Amino acid sequence: MKKGVSPTFTAIVAIVVAIVVVGASVYTYQQFLAYSAKTSAVVSTTSTTPRHTLKYDPTNKTVFITLVTLSSGPTFNFNGTDFGSMVIYVPAGWNLYITFINQESLPHNLNLIANDTATPNSPNIASDGKILLTIGASSSDYETTGIMSGQSASGLYTDIQPGIYWLACGIAGHAESGMWVVLVASSNVTTPYVVIS
């Protein structure tokens, strides 16, 4: 006669797994907070300092951008902002090293889009412009797939041309519901910075 796994053992394993997952999420978020305090990659929303310098390396012309989907604040957000209220300014011709961290319970991804419209107005972000880079999904499943809570993903886009872009979640309807940031590449910008309105 074969013996099965006891319900008590199964419950204990489930509790241990849950504790590990929650602990890993908390640790990841604490690491992010420590990193953001050190690099100024995460933007403060205080009105006394409306312009925030981003971490960058002038020797290889790379801007380091970190965007986080937070579980507090607006339902769909990056760094607690929504509907393009965060504007990132970068020098034209530079490289963008973008890190995306998801702290919300829903899956999300991040896309760099050369947009054709002022705001996302379609559930499919590709209807509003050209997707240049996808982070946390592939170019074929960005509408349905993303990274889960506590996960992060990074990507590099080289030689950003002058123009106005979005950084937006590609999952159907998320950008349209406010999950997008404006990115401006200009030859008039010499030091990368962020403004929140």
- The domain locations on the chain are 38-196
User: Which tokens is 120 given?
Assistant: 């996302």
pLDDT digits (tens, 9 = 90+) for 29-48: 444 444 333 333 333 333 34
Please say whether the structural domain 38-196 has been given the CATH code 1.10.287.1770. no
CA–CA distances in Å: residue 186 to residues 35, 48, 72, 113: 27, 25, 32, 16
Q: pLDDT tens for residues 128-141?
A: 999 999 999 999 99
162-171 pLDDT, tens digit per residue, is 999 999 999 9
How far is CA 168 from its chain centroid? 8
In which residue are the tokens 């919300």 written?
A: 104
pLDDT over threshold 60, residue 54: yes
- Give me the residues paired with residue 66 across strands: 99
**Among 70, 54, 76, 91, CA closest to 125:** 76
Q: What is the pLDDT of residue 49?
A: 42
Q: Which tokens sit at 30?
A: 């604490």
